[in-house]
């Protein structure tokens, strides 16, 4: 009897641990608040600027717990002496789905300054976009993301060569359906080291698109970006990784 009672107590204690252990059974993301990634941006192979990707904190938006993502791309000397560019994105993404609920974009190019805010209802498929020209309502059928949230969402996916993802991407006052495909795995050299990485790119025929390399390890770091422009290709390479530790 005594042994049977002890077994029951042990069983109850085990189930108690299952209930109170935080995050048990939940998917662990390859990132956490406090992570800060810094990149060196080059244009025509010359130093042109700096990019930062950062998870600042967790905050509640409309009662939903979100990751506060911050992205900034800006020109630095000597490029900034004749071309000033500074774009900052704040994206608040649901900690469970990693879909954004609110996005703010501040952009400076030359003497022009533009601000835009996007409120997203991912359940109803509705986006309310506010900027200097007014308010615009847009509907979408696929999960909608900005470029910052897309990067973190991809980091959390099970990446395999040949796999593709369909979504809606926020572009200005509109949302565009896109397909992102994992093209191949290759070795990538950056300022922070060498990585085996997955090459992800939008699928569009006969057009060069933004390319993103994500490391094939437990952290799924975005180690390199490449984006076409009207006058050449811009490349961002990882220089530093700061963790919450």
Q: Which residues of 23-32 are buried (b: 16+ CB within 10 A; e: fewer)?
A: eeeeeeebbe
Give Cβ neighbours of residue 241 (< 8 Å, ≥ 6 apart): 35, 36, 37, 38, 192, 221
- Contact assessment for residue 211 and residue 200, using Cβ atoms and an 8 Å cutoff: yes
The model's pLDDT over 155-191, given as tens digits with 9 standing for 90+, comes to: 999 999 999 999 999 999 999 999 999 999 999 999 9
Q: Residue 227 gets which letter from DSSP?
A: E
Regarding pTM above 0.95, the answer is no
Is residue 223 within 8 A of residue 197, CB to CB? The reply is yes
96 falls within a domain: yes
Domain assignment of residue 2, yes or no? no
Q: What is the pLDDT of residue 56?
A: 97
Cα–Cα distance between 203 and 110 in angstroms, integer? 32
In a domain, 193, yes or no: yes
**Mean pLDDT calculated for residue range 92-102:** 98
Length of the chain in residues, anyone? 245
Output the CA–CA distances (angstroms, integers) from residue 143 to 85, 146, 179, 243, in the order listed. 29, 10, 12, 29
Query: Is 12 within the bounds of a domain?
Result: no
For residue 65, being part of any structural domain is answered with yes
The runs of H, that is alpha helices, within the chain are 2-20, 147-155
Q: Contact, 143 vs 122, CB < 8 A?
A: yes
Structural domain for 114, as ranges: 29-242
Asked if 129 and 118 touch (Cβ cutoff 8 Å), the reply is yes
Structure tokens given for 100:
């954004």
Number of domains composing the chain: 1
Question: For the ranges 3-12, 29-38, 111-120, which has the lowest average pLDDT?
Answer: 3-12
Q: Is residue 13 part of a domain?
A: no
pLDDT of 118 above 50: yes
Hey, what are 235's tokens?
């490349």
CATH number at residue 51: 2.40.360
**Distance (Å, whole) CA 40 – CA 60:** 32
Is residue 37, in this structure, part of any structural domain at all?
yes
Residue (of 128, 123, 124, 148) closest to 138 by Cα position: 128
């Amino acid at each position: 009897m005594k042994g049977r009672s002890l077994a029951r107590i042990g069983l109850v204690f085990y189930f108690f641990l299952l209930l109170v252990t935080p995050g048990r059974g939940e998917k662990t993301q390859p990132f956490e608040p406090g992570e800060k990634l810094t990149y060196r941006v080059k244009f025509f192979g010359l130093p042109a600027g700096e990019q930062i990707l950062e998870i600042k904190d967790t905050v509640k938006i409309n009662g939903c717990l979100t990751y506060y993502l911050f992205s900034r791309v800006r020109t630095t000397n000597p490029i900034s002496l004749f071309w000033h560019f500074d774009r900052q994105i704040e994206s608040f993404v649901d900690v469970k789905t990693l879909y954004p609920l609110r996005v703010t974009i501040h952009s400076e190019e030359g003497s022009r300054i533009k601000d835009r805010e996007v409120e997203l209802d991912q359940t109803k498929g509705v986006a309310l976009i506010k900027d200097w020209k007014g308010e615009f309502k847009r509907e979408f059928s696929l999960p909608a993301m900005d470029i910052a949230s897309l990067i973190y969402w991809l980091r959390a996916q099970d990446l395999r060569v040949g796999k593709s993802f369909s979504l809606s991407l926020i572009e200005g006052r509109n949302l565009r359906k896109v397909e992102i495909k994992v093209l191949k795995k290759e070795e990538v050299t950056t300022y922070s080291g060498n990585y085996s990485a997955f090459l992800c790119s939008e699928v569009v025929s006969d057009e060069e698109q933004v390319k993103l390399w994500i490391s094939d390890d437990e952290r799924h770091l975005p180690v390199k970006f490449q984006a076409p422009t009207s006058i050449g290709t811009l490349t961002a390479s990882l220089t530093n990784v700061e963790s919450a530790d």
